Structure 1
Amino acid sequence: MKIKDILTIFRKLAPEGNQSSWDNSGVQVAGSTNATDKVAVTLEPTPAALARCLDWGAGAVLTHHPLYLKPKAPNAEGMYLDVLRTVIRSGSWLYAAHTSLDTRPGGPAFWLGGELGLTGTRLLEVEHGHTPVEASFYCAEPVSRQAADIWADHQGVHSVSQSRSGEVRVVCDEPQWPGLADKIEFSLGKRPLFYLRPLTAPVSEIGFGEAGELPEPLEFDAFMARLGGLIRRDALLVAGPRPERVRTVAYCGGSGADLIEQAARAGADVFITGDMKYHPAVETPVCVVDVGHFSLEEEMMRRFAKELDAALPDAEVRFFPGDDPFAVYAN
C-alpha cells in the first residue's frame, strides 16, 4: 500500500487540524520507502518500542506521543538521537497522532466513557469550536454519484445536494472547506464560482476529556471495583473527598490534573486521570482517581490499531504494547 494513502487514512482518523497549538502531531520522520504492507501502532516512540515495530518489518509506525514537541538538533547522545538513527536507517516512516487523536469526537480517547455506559456526555475542555459554512455553485451538468460520494466522504462534510436548476449546495465545517474546494475543482476540471454563507448552528466542538452519568448510581467501592476491572494497573491512587455514591463521572486520558475544576463544574462525583501532583491533590474539591498516564492511553492505542486495521485493507496493522515506566514495588 502506498505511503501517501496510508498517511491520508492517518489524517482522516486523527485530523491534524484539530491538534493543540503547542503540539506536533503528524509526520515525525519522513521515510524513504514508498509503499508497505505492514503498519505498526504503539504508544511511545522509545528506542525499545520502535525496535519491536521495525524488527517486525513495519514500513510505517504510528505512535501517540510525538518524538519531539519543538524542533531540536540531533547533536547529543540520548533517546532522541537513538530513535532518529534507527528509523532513518530502516527507511520507515514515523507518524504521531497526539492531540489530533485525543480530541476526535467519539474517537478511541473516549473509550472509558463507552465502557462505563455514560450518558449525557459533555466535553471537559473545548479546544476548538467551528460553525459550518454552506457553499453553493452552479453546475450545468448533473453531478455524478461518484463525484458526490467523494465530496461527501471529505472530512467535515455534512451534506451534498443538487437542485434541478443545477445549483449544488455543500455544507462543510469551515476548517475543511479549502481542501474540499480543491477536491471539487479536481472533479469538475475547473474551479467554479463559489458562494459561501456561514451558518450559525450547529456548532461543532472538539476538546479533551468528558463527563457523563452512569446508567445507575453505584456505591463508591462498587464503582472502584468496576473501574479496576477496566484499568490495567496494579494500583489506583485516590485523592480528595470520597462520595458515598457515584453517579456523574469525568475522565481525561494522559495528564489531566489541570482539569479538576472543569470536572467539578461538570458535577463529577469522581474524576479519573493521570499525573496528579501533591498540591492539586490536597486542594481538589472532587474525588480524583489517578490511574497513571499510561493506562488509559495504552488502551486507546490498542483500540485505534483495530480501527486502522479496518481502514487499511491492503496493509496489516499490528499493535505493539508499550511499557509503563512506573511499577509498584513491594517489600
Structure 2
Amino acid sequence: MIIQDVINHLEDFAPLAYAEDFDNVGLLVGNKNAKLSGILVTLDTLESVVDEAIENNCNLIVSFHPIIFKGLKKITGKTYVERVVLKAVKHDIAIYAIHTALDNSFKGVNDVICNKLELINKKVLIPQPQTIKKLTTFVPQAEAEQLRNAIFKVGAGNIGNYSNCSFNVEGTGTYKGNEYSNPTKGLKGTAHSEKETQITITYAKHLESQVLKTLFNTHSYEEVAYEITTLENKNQHIGIGMVGELKEPMSEIDFLTYLKSKMNTSNIRHSVLLGKPIKKVAVLGGSGSFAIEKAKAAGADVFITADLKYHDFFSAENNIILADIGHYESEQFTKNLLVAHLTKKITNFAVVLSKIDTNPVKYF
C-alpha cells in the first residue's frame, strides 16, 4: 500500500469537501505516493507523537487536529509547529489531518459523544447547506437504463434510506452537427431528432467529479447535454453537532454526574441549573459557542461543548443548561473512532493508537 490508499479510506469516511472553509485538512506533510510502513493515529501531532511514530515504524500520522493551521513563513525550529514539521520531514513521516471533515460527518466526532452518552433519535444539529447537487441529462431511450445504473454505482441517487432514486421523462431531442462534428446518431450537417429520456438524479457534492466522469464515459453522444443545480434542501447526514435523547429522563445532578463518568472528565463548567429533568441533549465537540442558539432552537435541555467564555454562559437565559466539558475531553475518543475505521479497512498494516496524552490543559 501507499499513503494515498489510506487517504482514500479516510476521505470515503469523512470527505474533505465538507470541512469548514477556515480549516486546513488533508495531507499536510509528506509524499502521498510513498510506500506505507504503518499508521499512528493521534488527536494532536506533537514532537513526542512523531517520536512515537518513529518507534513504531509508522510513516503516516493521522491526526485529528492540523499541526499546520496558519501559513509558515519560516521553518527554523523556533516553534513547536516548526519542530514537528522538521522532524517529520527528516524521518520521511507524512502527516494527515481530518479535523472538521470528521466534525461534519454523521458518524464522526459528535456521533461518538452521542454513543458514549447512549443517546437515541440522533439528528444533525446544524446541517451544512448546499451539500446536495442535482444532475439533469438527456440520453437516447435505449441507453437510459445503462447510464442510470452507472451513475448509481458511483453513489448518486441516494435519498435517506433509499437508493437508485431518479426521475425520468421521455421526449424528443433535436440537434444539427456542423462540419467538425462527429455525431453518434444522425449525420453531420443534417438536422436530427432522437427519442430521448431526461434523467434527473441527486448526489452528494463530494461525488461530483466521479458522477461527471461516469456520465461522460458512459454517454454515447459526442457532446453531452447536462445541467447541474445546487439544492437548498437540508442534508440530515452532513453537518456539525448532534442532538439526541436519553432513553430515560435524568435529574440535572444525576446527568452531570453521568456526563463526567462517560466523558472521563473531572471538571464541568456549567450555567445555572433550572430544576428540570434532562431528556434532550445537544452536543458539539470542540469549540461550540456559535451553536448555543441552535441548541436552544432544537429544544435541547442541555448543550455539551467546550471553550465557552464567561459571557457565553449568559446566553443560556434560563432556557438551557450549557455544559463545558473541555476541548480535549470532548474530542478524546475521536482517535479511537479513526483506529477502528482504519483497522476494519486495512488488515495488513499496523494501525497504532497513540498512547500520548496531548491535552495542553491541566487542572490543579
TM-score by length of 2: 0.77
Aligned residues: 329
Q: Please list every run of 5 or more consecutive structure 2 residues that lacks an aligned counterpart in the other structure.
A: 169-194
Corresponding residue of 2:321: 287
Q: Does 1:91 align with 2:92?
A: yes
Q: Does 1:195 align with 2:226?
A: yes
Structure 1 range deviating more: 305-314 or 97-106: 305-314
1:195 maps to amino acid: Y
Q: Does 1:325 align with 2:325?
A: no
| Alignment match of 1:177 (pick from 208, 231, 246) | 208
Q: Does 1:216 align with 2:219?
A: no
Counterpart CA distance in 1 for 2:12 and 2:158 is 7
Residues 131 and 231, structure 2, Cα contact 8 Å, conserved in 1:
no
Structure 1 range deviating more: 36-45 or 236-245: 236-245
Residues 65 and 98, structure 1, Cα contact 8 Å, conserved in 2:
yes
Counterpart CA distance in 1 for 2:254 and 2:107 is 27
- The 5 A counterparts of 1:83-162 are 83-136=84-137, 138=139, 143=146, 151-152=154-155, 158-159=163-164
Q: What secondary structure sits across from 2:352 in the alignment? A: strand
Counterpart CA distance in 1 for 2:157 and 2:71 is 31
Residues 122 and 244, structure 2, Cα contact 8 Å, conserved in 1:
yes
Corresponding residue of 2:72: 72
Structure 1 range deviating more: 276-285 or 292-301: 276-285
Residues 32 and 91, structure 1, Cα contact 8 Å, conserved in 2:
no
Counterpart CA distance in 1 for 2:116 and 2:241 is 15
Counterpart CA distance in 2 for 1:269 and 1:162 is 41
Q: What secondary structure sits across from 2:129 in the alignment? A: strand
1:104 maps to amino acid: S
Q: % of aligned pairs identical?
A: 22
Q: What secondary structure sits across from 1:229 in the alignment? A: helix
Residues 240 and 282, structure 1, Cα contact 8 Å, conserved in 2:
no
Counterpart CA distance in 1 for 2:106 and 2:57 is 32
Counterpart CA distance in 2 for 1:211 and 1:195 is 38
Counterpart CA distance in 2 for 1:241 and 1:302 is 32
Q: What secondary structure sits across from 2:333 in the alignment? A: helix
1:323 maps to amino acid: T
Counterpart CA distance in 2 for 1:210 and 1:265 is 13
Counterpart CA distance in 1 for 2:5 and 2:214 is 16
Per-residue deviation, 1:83: 0.7
Residues 132 and 202, structure 2, Cα contact 8 Å, conserved in 1:
no
- Cα gap change, 1:81 to 1:105, in 2 (>3 Å): same
TM-score by length of 1: 0.84
Per-residue deviation, 1:35: 1.4
1:20 maps to amino acid: E
Counterpart CA distance in 1 for 2:240 and 2:149 is 36
Q: What secondary structure sits across from 2:294 in the alignment? A: helix
Counterpart CA distance in 1 for 2:231 and 2:68 is 38
- Cα gap change, 1:123 to 1:37, in 2 (>3 Å): same
Structure 1 range deviating more: 253-262 or 172-181: 172-181
